[in-house]
Structure 1
Amino acid sequence: MARSAVIAIGASAGGVSALRSLAAALPETFAAPILVVLHVGAHRSELPELLSAVGPMPAKHAEDDEAFHPGNIYVAPPDRHMIVAEGRLRLLRTPKENWARPAIDPLFRSVAESYGPNAAGVILTGNLNDGTLGLLEIKRRGGITVVQNPRDAAHPEMPRSAAVHVSLDHCLPLVEIPELLVELTTNRKEADMPITSTQPGAVRHSAENNGWELERPVAVTCPDCGGALKRSVEGSIVKFGCHIGHSYTAEVMASAHFDELERVMRAAVRFLNERAEFCLQMAEHSQSTGFDDVADWHAASQQALDRAYKLRDLVEQDWITPETNGRLASASGGRDPAGLPR
């Protein structure tokens, strides 16, 4: 069996206590890096300090594009997915997965892609089922899959989901997991070092798009109710309709979607402007009360204002609108955009 070159651990509810117990039992000479995702959302996290305080391995919040080394614990920071790409850690503000950012699945998928049989994934206590699909990918690529015994977990749903859907290598009480991890990483050979995968379907890492590429949406949605639209063709006319009963010709649909796009973007400009004002008021409050975070509030206010102006400029740029050039109408009975015979 290949020795594990990296350990990826995911936890949610009850995870702070579980991770502290784990860190306290691991040796300073642990032969692999440990990558940790705890569901903290956008809230401030002191998990690295808590882990460093109880065990010999130093823990820190991961930084974007940093290398990672054995004997260290790297924790996903608030509001960022942490993944592995080309031997380095990447932090992404891509969409939430399973209602979470950071989420466990993105890390597990990337570790499976990069390390194959030399990866180990561990799921600890938590609600719902984040991590199950990622652990399944680790298993599919030959890695080691470990979960905390659900009967031993403060919140058993996450490990139970993994146990149901993944053919596990180990299902253990928390107290036995540190010894297993040491065993998995002991006497690791050079041949067990990271591999790089370029297989199709793997996690894509695009520097230009901050690690995320848009997929084609499952469906186009109704501008009135948000329901999925079904496309149909009557003669040469393209129509869209939802199950509620809203229906549109292609031209009307295009115009309605564009109006909704503009509304949403202008709402975002408003929210950014309001954030700038809120942060400015907090800066003034901090200054009057002697707090030392005045500069941070001012910087946040200026950032929001800068982005509001950029977004406003984007909204007001010229957009390509083929629905207004008459081509669709011309294909529908030789009528002009007003619906009158030519």
Structure 2
Amino acid sequence: MSENEPKIIVIGTSAGGMQAVTKLLSRLPEQLPASIFIVQHLSPDSSAHFLVDRLNKYTDLKCKVAEHGHKFEPATVYFSPADKHLLISGDHMLVVKGPRENQFRPAIDPLFRSAAAHHGGNTTGVILTGFMSDGVIGMECIKRSGGTTIVQHPDDAEFPVLPENVIRKVDANYVVPLSEMSNILEELAQQPTQQSLTIPADIRQEALITERVMSNTTQTSIEELEKAGTRTAYSCPDCGGGLWELGQEGTIKRFRCHSGHAFSQDSLLLGMSNALEETLWVALRTLEERRNILLNMYQSETTKGNHRWAGIQEKRVEEMKVHIERLRELLSKSSSADEEQMGETG
């Protein structure tokens, strides 16, 4: 990188994010010598253009929806579109509809990891309000690559779970309220660009795997995953494929399948819970349909006067009713446990 190239600021947020992002950007100067990239968890039918138009009303920085293959510029904010990942590769952006990470698309971790892999110590990672744990691994990648990590203070966040998860796993350089964050970002952007970048091999390798899989919609080879991590006994909750555990050189475990789905421990556990719940609902539906058929058979045999055969069907109906009630109770307990997990760990 030359001295004239901008610094990189990556921002990740979830619930309550737009209000926090708007406040933060409104305090930054128009000529900030850094390029800013934002991933906000969005539903697939959200309009990134609408959100960018809103941001442009509150900041002097130029705000755009990120476009695939475009070079990025300083003093410009690039917002990830809905249902697509945003990655950084050298001096340009990749906007791709690759596999979900942490069950999100767009996801925070791929952006942060790509920034760390390509720009190392010239990268500043920012985590704002939100739920879940997407962004924790990305912040660790930035930290290990020599970059700076900034987290919104949980007391200042509308939804503190995501900041708390990052603080718990990563030794952040700054944990501050939004009112102090803009000054820190401006000071960091003014510092000289680092010319010698030493990126940990595992971060660079995983970023390249992610970039290729998401850009070309090709699967990661099993050989690559064997080199990058250790095969586990777990299955991917998104596609059912095998999972490899990565992160031996870092402090945070993460999991990836050869289709490209990736998870932190928290998101993997939640994904497994969701897959289990879906299976239980299918089983419940099947049992109820079976009970209805048996009930029809009972009523038909009763009408015909076949009381012995009708009695057998009636007994089977009652047995099926017991199984259905037990399954409903299990589903109720499972839902309560998932809600408690989201509240405690995100």
Normalising by structure 1, report the TM-score. 0.59
- 2:273 corresponds in structure 1 to none
Alignment partner of 2:153 out of 127, 149, 155: 149
Describe the SS at the equivalent of 1:206: helix
Post-superposition Cα deviations, 1:55-103, rounded to whole Å, max 9, x if no partner, equal 1001111000110011000000010000011321001211111221001
- 2:71 corresponds in structure 1 to 67
Instruction: State the one-letter code of the partner of 2:113.
Output: R
Q: CA RMSD in A?
A: 3.0
Alignment partner of 1:8 out of 3, 7, 10: 10
Instruction: State the one-letter code of the partner of 1:102.
Output: P
**Is this contact kept in 1: 2:85–2:110, CA < 8 A?**
yes
CA distance in 1: counterparts of 2:139 and 2:241, whole angstroms: 33
Describe the SS at the equivalent of 1:191: coil
Greater helix fraction, Structure 1 or Structure 2:
2
1:75 to 1:105, Cα distance in 2 relative to 1, 3 A: same
Give matches, 1:1-342, under 5 Å: 5-45=7-47, 46-189=50-193, 191=195, 199-204=204-209, 205-206=211-212, 210=216, 213-216=219-222
1:177 to 1:211, Cα distance in 2 relative to 1, 3 A: farther
Choose between structure 1 and 2 for higher RCO, CA contacts under 8 A separated by at least 6 residues: 2
Instruction: State the one-letter code of the partner of 1:91.
Output: V
**Is this contact kept in 1: 2:154–2:163, CA < 8 A?**
yes
Describe the SS at the equivalent of 1:91: strand
Displacement after TM superposition at 1:175 (Å): 1.1
Displacement after TM superposition at 1:214 (Å): 2.5
CA distance in 2: counterparts of 1:71 and 1:195, whole angstroms: 25
CA distance in 2: counterparts of 1:208 and 1:11, whole angstroms: 21
**Is this contact kept in 2: 1:118–1:192, CA < 8 A?**
no
Structure 2, unpaired ranges of 5+: 223-230, 243-346
Displacement after TM superposition at 1:193 (Å): 9.4
Structure 1, unpaired ranges of 5+: 229-342
Instruction: State the one-letter code of the partner of 1:13.
Output: A
CA distance in 2: counterparts of 1:71 and 1:227, whole angstroms: 42
Pick which of 15-24 and 197-206 moved more: 197-206
Displacement after TM superposition at 1:186 (Å): 0.9
Counting matched residue pairs gives 223
1:26 to 1:149, Cα distance in 2 relative to 1, 3 A: same
**Is this contact kept in 1: 2:86–2:93, CA < 8 A?**
yes
Normalising by structure 2, report the TM-score. 0.59
Post-superposition Cα deviations, 1:6-39, rounded to whole Å, max 9, x if no partner, equal 0000010000100010111111011100000000
1:100 to 1:121, Cα distance in 2 relative to 1, 3 A: same
Identity %: 35
Displacement after TM superposition at 1:213 (Å): 3.6
**Is this contact kept in 2: 1:114–1:196, CA < 8 A?**
no
**Is this contact kept in 2: 1:8–1:108, CA < 8 A?**
yes
- 1:264 corresponds in structure 2 to none
1:115 to 1:13, Cα distance in 2 relative to 1, 3 A: same
Pick which of 204-213 and 23-32 moved more: 204-213
**Is this contact kept in 1: 2:145–2:198, CA < 8 A?**
no
Displacement after TM superposition at 1:104 (Å): 0.3
- 1:280 corresponds in structure 2 to none
Describe the SS at the equivalent of 2:116: helix
1:167 to 1:42, Cα distance in 2 relative to 1, 3 A: same
1:199 to 1:77, Cα distance in 2 relative to 1, 3 A: closer
1:126 to 1:146, Cα distance in 2 relative to 1, 3 A: same
**Is this contact kept in 1: 2:11–2:38, CA < 8 A?**
yes
1:189 to 1:94, Cα distance in 2 relative to 1, 3 A: closer
CA distance in 2: counterparts of 1:227 and 1:5, whole angstroms: 38
Post-superposition Cα deviations, 1:100-158, rounded to whole Å, max 9, x if no partner, equal 10010000000000011111100000001110000001001111000000111000011
Describe the SS at the equivalent of 1:54: coil
1:208 to 1:151, Cα distance in 2 relative to 1, 3 A: closer
